[in-house]
Amino acid sequence: MLTRSMTIGIRSLTASPLRSLLATLGVTIGTGALVAVLAVGDGVEAFARDQIAATTDLLQIAVVPSTTTMMDQLMLPRRDTVQLSTVDREALGALLPTGIQLSLSRNGSTWISGLAGDSLRGATVQTADTPHRGVADSLVTGRWFTPEEIASGARVAVISPGLARLADGPGATVPDTVVFNGTTFRVIGVATHPDSLRLSARVPLTAYPEAVPPPMRRPAVLIIEVPAIEAVPSTLAAVKGWTATRATDGALMVQNRTDRADQARQAMLVFKLLMGAITGISLVVGGIGIMNTLLASVFERTREIGIRRATGARRRDILAQFLAESVAITGMGSGVGVLIGLGSAFGISALIRARSEAPVYAAVTPTTLMVAATSAITVGLLFGAYPALRAARLSPIDAIRTE
């Protein structure tokens, strides 16, 4: 009886095709808007995450040895500055999840010669033992150090554009070599720097002692780079736990832009909730159309409902009949709406790329389709429940007597 009631409910939709089509249209528009907003929103979020990773340090955690200490109200140099090494990098890496990049970096200042006019200039030198994302993505031309060059301490360098321009005067190409602290390094690439005019270079960690004189050398810093901003809090807690076992008395400092990372996470969440709430209004409007259609159907078929009740149909059979009609409307509407929403999402993202030159692409994920389908069915059940309950509660005698 239950299956028959659902079959009758679905067939009854063809009795008033125009009205059913208009009710379906509301759900179609609502589902399409929801899919389009979610797909474009995911694309914009992916673009924002790429920008955060490429242009900020919000995804980085740094373990920095302390070089000073407070004693007798005086700031004095530490006599026990921690010297981080590749052993520390491997030990910490074993405690962290996969996908997290770790590298050792050292900074310092040095003399540089072998430039135009054989002038002596000052430059900063930065090192890394692995090409982590923030550095590798900054290459303009050339290449990064190979593992063999890092292991052997090869005298190779990746220089800044400002340093490259000083090679042989204005309009010069990238120099073949530069001389740091009296040692010749072969130039293998050019990488951008936040300050385009700054003279800087990157060399393998193992070649750092030859490039920087002892008074200007700084302790190695351990850089941890997480793949997503959501992973920052848990990674930060794990790093702090490791530093507590590695050194005491504040000898190791853990640095991270936690406040900015929290703001970025919150902004992404608010954006998605806001866009979802706006498009949810469209689904509510579609649900109201479903309710109106079913209420009219109950009114027109009151006598039919009474006859079915008198011949043995139970209340739950009538309830299932009208809920089946509601789900059928939302199912057809959501199916068409998903296709329209996907097409709109790709069109909108193409327009964004054309007008802003930002590489924003619609991101179609199973979650987006699941949310759209679940929302449409939920709306169908919620807004179809009242007409279905009203039909199920009709008195058989009063319904049969209705003209």
At 54 the pLDDT is 67
- List domains and CATH numbers for the chain: 2-53+263-401 (no CATH), 59-105+219-256 (3.30.70), 107-218 (no CATH)
Residue whose C-alpha is closest to residue 126's, from 135, 138, 137:
135
Helix, strand, coil: what percent of the chain each, to 5? 60, 15, 25
- Confirm whether pTM is higher than 0.75: no
At 397 the pLDDT is 67
Q: Which residue is associated with the tokens 């009631």?
A: 5
At 6 the pLDDT is 47
Stretches where the chain sits below pLDDT 70 are 1-20, 23, 54-56, 114-118, 128-137, 167-173, 193-197, 261, 290, 293-294, 297-301, 304, 396-403
Q: Do 236 and 256 touch, CB atoms closer than 8 A?
A: yes
Q: Which residue is associated with the tokens 């790329």?
A: 353
Q: Hey, what amino acid is at 204?
A: P
pLDDT in tens, 114-141: 666 567 788 888 886 665 555 555 777 8
At 21 the pLDDT is 74
Q: Hey, what amino acid is at 335?
A: G
At 387 the pLDDT is 74
Q: Can you tell me the distance from the alpha carbon of 322 to that of 295, in angstroms, rounded to the nearest whole number?
A: 10
The total number of residues written for the chain in this structure: 403
At 300 the pLDDT is 65
Class of residue 273 by CB neighbours under 10 A (exposed 0-12, middle 13-18, buried 19+): exposed
Q: Can you tell me the distance from the alpha carbon of 69 to that of 76, in angstroms, rounded to the nearest whole number?
A: 5
